[in-house]
Structure 1
Amino acid sequence: MIERGAEAHKIDSTRSLINKLSTKIRIAIQVVDSISKKINRLRDEELWPRMTELVLGLVRMWNTMLECHQMQRRALSEVKKLDIVISNGKVTSSHADEIMQLELEMLKWTSNFAAWINSQRNYVKALNGWLVLCLRYEPQETADGVPPYSPRRIGAPPVFIICNCWSQAMDMTSERNVLESMQAFTTAVRRLWEQQNIDHHERMIAIRIMDRWLRTLEKNTKDIYKEVNSLNKKLALVPGQIGLHIYRPVFEGHTAEITSSTQLGLEKIFEAMQDFTASSVKAYEKLLEHCEEQRMSG
């Protein structure tokens, strides 16, 4: 402005404005720096210890669940008459209702299990994603391509390292076998119910009883459809998992095998549950070891 011959009062006014803006910028930077330090302190002094406690708690939880599923498998292996009771052909209307209720409960169990695992995975992914944003991390492309994100390699604090390991562990632990065994058994129960319903329908003579049965059938069928729709929405979030169609065989060989043996179907569920919980125990115990390593090195 001076070179262009601007008036002195305009120069002073502009200089004053620049000084005010400069002061505001410095204050804003100081505030951001102060907030950043508070976030870092909370992250290292609050989040990191709580995360270690959570991992320890999850190790205990999965160990307890593993023991429970092992006991369930042993108890089921000692049951000798389950298939005999079901296949003896003496099924009343109350039995048929119970079979339909079993199908409904299986759908709820499958749905809740899928939602529970998804919520854990989503929590870890969200936390790890937020932590990544807190790093000044710009991946540098090499001759082999962009290297995977590794907070350990760039010297990030322990919480970044553990959370990234946790996210990777969740990716490597799949619940698909559990969901497939549950779905197969649910389809088998549906087929059993349909067959028993046909037999029961042939024995029903009184119109009043028939009407009451049809009303019950309509209500329970609506409940089942509702659970199937809810389940399919949750299964859509599971990598590699397909939905459930209650009138179409989903797993032909697996379902046919289970249809011939209700006990075998339950055994396959608890076997898959045991394998899944054992994998989870191993993953979380390894994660806890990483936590201890970071604590000792810190």
Structure 2
Amino acid sequence: MMNPVALFRSASSRSSSSRFLVKSSTPRDEGLESSSDFFDESCMCSGSHQSTLDRLYAWEKKLYQEVRAGERIRIAYEKKCKQLRNQDVKGEDPSSVEKTRAAIRDMQTQMKVSIHSVEAVSKRIETLRDEELQPQLLELVQGLSRMWNAMAEGHQLQKRTLDEAKILLAGMPSKLSGTKKYTVMTPSLPQRLARSASNLEMELRNWRACFDSWIVSQRSYVQALTGWLLRCVRSDADKSKIPFSPRRSSGAPPIFTICIQWSRFLDTTCEAPVLEGLDFFAAGVGSLYAQQLREDSRKNLGG
């Protein structure tokens, strides 16, 4: 009987790179034929990222405990060795010396078991890092890239539509020369417009705050991942070259390249103009209909 858990893990541990290459090689029109493709791609095919991080944390905690236990055994072992040397120098009773030697042999066995446990836990962490975390990060970065490309295309289309509308509106007065249109505004309409503008301004400022928080969180996440990966690098690697060229470092894992490139991209990306533009847009929306409301109020008082 097939184990469903094993089946799920084998299916979820596949790398997303092959799936991305297959999708990127298909014509663009095919991706537009089905509106469900975008929602299907929103689920990570390389497994749950949160679950992988939770298990990595649990194994890292286990590794920390094993290292601490091994360190305590090593300290006790060194004390026993020192005690044995003192006993040999002083010529103490052979039974006491033999008892100390037996304790040393027992500690040597414990140290071997501790080293084996540390190596086993470290191997498990490396397996999770390379077989699950790496394809998940690759899929995440590729998904973010597709998202920003789609948003950029949408914004360009919106701008083109607005530019065409401006041209159309600019040509309307000449065609409608000699005609005048008057709009009768009910007393409650200015209040509704001002209230709608206020709500839109609030949503824009909330959007701005969420965008700022998202970028900051993304930078912090990449920095935390990179810092953790640095601890995974073997001690014989040249750590001075790792932050700049991970491929030249024999001890750097392949996943390090993804995090370094991701971190560099975020460092070179300046979100300040976007945030300032959102602030300016929100302030303009908030003041536009408020000014219109004041003008209408003055007209009503004057009338």
TM (norm. structure 2) is 0.57
- The one of 85, 91, 113 equivalent to 1:5 is 91
* 2:225 pairs with 1:127: yes
Give SS of 1:3's match: helix
- The one of 124, 138, 141 equivalent to 1:52 is 138
Q: Which one scores higher on RCO, CA 8 angstroms, separation ≥ 6?
A: 1
Give SS of 2:247's match: coil
Contact 1:139–1:149 under 8 Å retained in 2: no
Residue 193 of structure 1 and its aligned partner are, at CA, apart by 4.6
Given the superposition, is the C-alpha separation of residues 74 and 192 from structure 1 closer, same or farther in structure 2, using an over 3 Å criterion? same
Give SS of 1:30's match: helix
* 2:258 pairs with 1:162: yes
Give the whole-Å Cα distance in 1 for the aligned partners of 2:239 and 2:201. 53
Partner of 2:196: 98
Give the whole-Å Cα distance in 2 for the aligned partners of 1:139 and 1:186. 50
Q: Which amino acid aligns with 1:106?
A: L
Given the superposition, is the C-alpha separation of residues 148 and 132 from structure 1 closer, same or farther in structure 2, using an over 3 Å criterion? closer
Contact 1:92–1:200 under 8 Å retained in 2: yes
CA RMSD of aligned residues (A): 3.0
Give the whole-Å Cα distance in 1 for the aligned partners of 2:270 and 2:208. 15
- Structure 1 residue runs of 5 or longer lacking an equivalent are 83-87, 206-298
Partner of 2:25: none
* 2:157 pairs with 1:71: yes
Contact 2:242–2:249 under 8 Å retained in 1: no
- Equivalent residues in 2 for 1:274-289 (5 A)? none
Bigger radius of gyration, 1 or 2?
2
- The one of 115, 137, 142 equivalent to 2:213 is 115
Contact 2:190–2:293 under 8 Å retained in 1: no
1:139-174 CA-partner distances (Å, limit 9, x unpaired): 677xxxx99543222132321122212111111112
- Identity over the aligned pairs, expressed in percent? 40
Give the whole-Å Cα distance in 2 for the aligned partners of 1:203 and 1:183. 31
Contact 1:114–1:179 under 8 Å retained in 2: yes
Partner of 2:128: 42
Give the whole-Å Cα distance in 1 for the aligned partners of 2:225 and 2:206. 28
Give the whole-Å Cα distance in 2 for the aligned partners of 1:89 and 1:123. 55
1:108-150 CA-partner distances (Å, limit 9, x unpaired): 1211222232333232222222111111357677xxxx99543
Contact 2:193–2:289 under 8 Å retained in 1: no
Given the superposition, is the C-alpha separation of residues 19 and 148 from structure 1 closer, same or farther in structure 2, using an over 3 Å criterion? same
Given the superposition, is the C-alpha separation of residues 69 and 5 from structure 1 closer, same or farther in structure 2, using an over 3 Å criterion? same
Residue 201 of structure 1 and its aligned partner are, at CA, apart by 5.1
Residue 203 of structure 1 and its aligned partner are, at CA, apart by 6.3
- Structure 2 residue runs of 5 or longer lacking an equivalent are 1-86, 171-182
Residue 181 of structure 1 and its aligned partner are, at CA, apart by 0.5
Give the whole-Å Cα distance in 2 for the aligned partners of 1:183 and 1:58. 24
TM (norm. structure 1) is 0.57
Number of residue pairs matched? 197
Give the whole-Å Cα distance in 2 for the aligned partners of 1:89 and 1:196. 14
Residue 194 of structure 1 and its aligned partner are, at CA, apart by 4.3
Q: Which amino acid aligns with 1:154?
A: S
